[in-house]
């Protein structure tokens, strides 16, 4: 019985904490241990002599993506100011504004998924969220198309609600 108890880690820990009480043993690191992002399993891939992997070039990534992003952002400036100047937007301009907003939003959400759900940490969550985002973007695009064709359009609707 005694030998069995000595083998149990829990019993051993309780003995340690009991003997520790007069002089508290502090951890070496004073900062609180917050396991927001616990470290991943420590593994080493390859050797020190492996060349750094050069990512494949892609027509919609890197600098092209950056430029595309800025063109949409810059385009949103006059599209946002126009309704304030003109009071509202005609259906074509409203559709352009909606398209730009969807693209801008989609890119923004993508950036958030990329930033907060790293590939090497949560690959499945990231892939799932990317598909969820695509689904939501599609639903938003179709929903806004319906709103533009069956209702009065986003700017006019906002104006009517605002003046209500």
Partner 1 sequence: MNSASPVAVAMGRNMQIRPATSAANLADPTKILPQQRLNRPVAPHLTIYRPQVTWVLSSLNRITGFALSGSLYLFASAYLVAPLFGWHLESASLAAAFGALPLIAKVLIKSTVALPFTFHSLNGIRHLMWDLGRGLTNQQVIKTGWTVVGLSVVSALAIAFM
Chain-centre distance for alpha carbon 48: 32
Residue 82 binds partner 1 (CB under 8 A): no
C-alpha 155/C-alpha 157 separation (Å) is 5
Residue 130 binds partner 1 (CB under 8 A): no
Nearer to partner 1, 15 or 71 (CB): 71
Which residues, in sequence order, are CB contacts of 49 under 8 Å at separation 6+?
none
Residue 120 binds partner 1 (CB under 8 A): no
Which residues, in sequence order, are CB contacts of 131 under 8 Å at separation 6+?
none
Q: What DSSP designation does 45 have? A: -
The residue from 2, 10, 26, 36 that contacts partner 1 (CB under 8 A) is 36
Residue 48 binds partner 1 (CB under 8 A): no
Task: Give 1-35 as a DSSP string.
Answer: -HHHHHH-HHHHHHHHHHHHTTSPPPPS--S----
Nearer to partner 1, 18 or 25 (CB): 25
**Residue 127, H or E segment:** helix 123-150
Residue 88 binds partner 1 (CB under 8 A): no
Q: Which stretch binds partner 1 (CB under 8 A): 4-12, 17-25, 41-49, 56-64?
A: 41-49
Q: Is 95 exposed, middle or buried (0-12, 13-18, 19+ CB in 10 A)?
A: middle
> Is 64 marked as a binding-site residue?
no
The residue from 101, 113, 117, 130 that contacts partner 1 (CB under 8 A) is 101
Residue 71 binds partner 1 (CB under 8 A): no
Give the binding site for partner 1 (CB under 8 A): 29, 31, 33-39, 41-43, 70, 73-74, 76-77, 80, 101, 104-105, 108-109, 112, 136-137, 139-144, 146-147, 151-152, 156-157, 160-164
- List the binding residues for heme b: 104
């Amino acid at each position: 019985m005694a030998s069995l108890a000595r083998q149990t880690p829990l019993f051993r820990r309780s003995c340690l904490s009991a003997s520790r009480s007069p002089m508290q043993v502090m951890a070496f690191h004073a900062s609180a241990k917050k396991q927001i992002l616990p470290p991943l399993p420590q593994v080493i891939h390859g050797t020190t002599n492996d060349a750094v992997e050069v990512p494949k070039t892609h027509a919609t990534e890197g600098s092209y993506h950056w430029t595309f992003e800025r063109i949409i952002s810059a385009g949103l400036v006059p599209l946002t100011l126009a309704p304030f100047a003109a009071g509202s937007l005609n259906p074509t301009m409203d559709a352009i504004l909606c398209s730009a907003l969807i693209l801008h939003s989609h890119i923004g959400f993508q950036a958030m998924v990329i930033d907060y759900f790293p590939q090497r940490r949560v690959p499945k969550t990231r892939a799932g969220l990317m598909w969820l985002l695509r689904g939501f973007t599609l639903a938003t695009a179709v929903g806004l198309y319906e709103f533009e064709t069956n209702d009065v359009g986003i700017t006019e609707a906002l104006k009517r609600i605002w003046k209500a």
